[in-house]
Amino acid sequence: MSASPSISTRLLDGQRTALARLISWAENGDARFPSALLEIKQRLGRAARTGITGPPGAGKSTLTNELARHLRTTEKTVGILAVDPSSPITGGALLGDRIRMEDRTTDPGCFIRSMASRGSHGGIARATVDALDVMDAFGFDELIVETVGVGQAEYDVVGAADTVVVVLCPGAGDGVQAMKSGLLEVADVLVVNKSDMPGADRLAKDLAESVHIRTAPAMGKSAVPAWVPPVVSCSAAKDEGIDDVLAAIAQHRAFLIDDLAGHRAIKRANQVRHVVTEHLDEAIWGTAGWTDWVADEVRGGSTAYEAAAAVLAHLVPALPMAGAHGAKEPSV
């Protein structure tokens, strides 16, 4: 009797049940994931990865759907990951996205998965990269990861992509807001969606101007031309300008091509950090019972810093903060 093929083998054979299962392992931080990843490692790195972020309501999901549809007309296979870092409570919003993307779900060349990650922000970013790796090994040509919102957690999630697309729209959350919130810094491509709405041209102009101001000094200093994020206008709802968005993404990818491996290595290093942080967090607070000890200390009158110093002194004696204030060793 021969053993049934492993889940990695089944993934590489193109079985969708294995794809779904491995993404769940990634999502849940399943202990079986690391060895499964090792078995699919040889097939990684082929897919192009695009991250889509921006304020709620900008049209990210509509655009993602359109990008996928246009890519499908060129025979490219597409995997989509919709990440909601806030909490499983927003399942309603995810369901909404799912319904809107429905016309993609009957197409065998397109795969859509929503992920509502539990745990820390680092955990979401880690799970996203793992899920993208699984989809990459499965064989999709293009991967798109969409995340809700505009904060640091969202940058961590989409920052793992080769190309980060920031989607804005006229009206709510205007250009000034975007500039303040640091969205311009993370964008490789800036998209002004809802070009059918008033104020879209103004927003595109303002964005192009601030990108120019921001990138000009850097270009002056360096002999290597820096990437200047293009501002592209489109209307996802009216299916206008979608190919311009795809062209801008392709241009950025072409810009990266000389050092794609280096670009990806930096992002991969972030993933190592996330894994280490997540494991430490789990080891300290999940299994070792430090939470109770800390609660006792605080109840006994310690400040948070005193209690933290005591924990750190025990865990990592070489850390500068450890042992500060002459904190005593905890006995766990």
Ligand X SMILES: Nc1nc2c(ncn2[C@@H]2O[C@H](COP(=O)(O)OP(=O)(O)O)[C@@H](O)[C@H]2O)c(=O)[nH]1
Question: 79 in the Ramachandran plot: left (φ > 0), alpha (ψ -120 to 50) or beta?
Answer: beta
The binder of 57, among Mg ion, ligand X, none, by C-beta within 5 to 8 A per type, is: ligand X
Scanning 55-63, 128-136, 216-224, 317-325 for contacts with ligand X by CB under 6 A, the matching segment is 55-63
Whichever of 61 and 77 has its CB closer to ligand X, that residue is 61
Scanning 17-25, 38-46, 89-97, 308-316 for contacts with Mg ion by CB under 5 A, the matching segment is 89-97
What CA–CA distance (Å, rounded) separates 268 from 262?
10
The binder of 268, among Mg ion, ligand X, none, by C-beta within 5 to 8 A per type, is: none
SS3 of 6, please? coil
Whichever of 105 and 291 has its CB closer to ligand X, that residue is 105
Neighbour tally for 187: CB within 10 Å: 24
- Site map 123..162 versus ligand X, x via CB under 6 A: ----------------------------------------
Which pair of structure tokens corresponds to residue 34? 């690391």
Q: Given candidates 56, 88, 289, 317, which one binds ligand X under the rule CB under 6 A?
A: 56
CA dihedral sign of residues 162, 264, 262, 223: positive
Does 228 contact ligand X by CB under 6 A? no
Q: Given candidates 8, 50, 62, 163, which one binds ligand X under the rule CB under 6 A?
A: 62
- How many residues line the site for ligand X (CB under 6 A)? 15
Which pair of structure tokens corresponds to residue 279? 């494991």
Neighbour tally for 11: CB within 10 Å: 27
What CA–CA distance (Å, rounded) separates 211 from 179?
9
Q: Given candidates 8, 235, 248, 297, which one binds ligand X under the rule CB under 6 A?
A: 235
Ranges within 183-222 binding ligand X (CB under 6 A)? 193-194, 196-197
The full 3-state SS of 116-150, as one line of letters, equals CCCCCHHHHHHHHHHHHHHHHHHCCCEEEEEECEC
Residues that bind ligand X (CB under 6 A): 56-62, 193-194, 196-197, 235-238
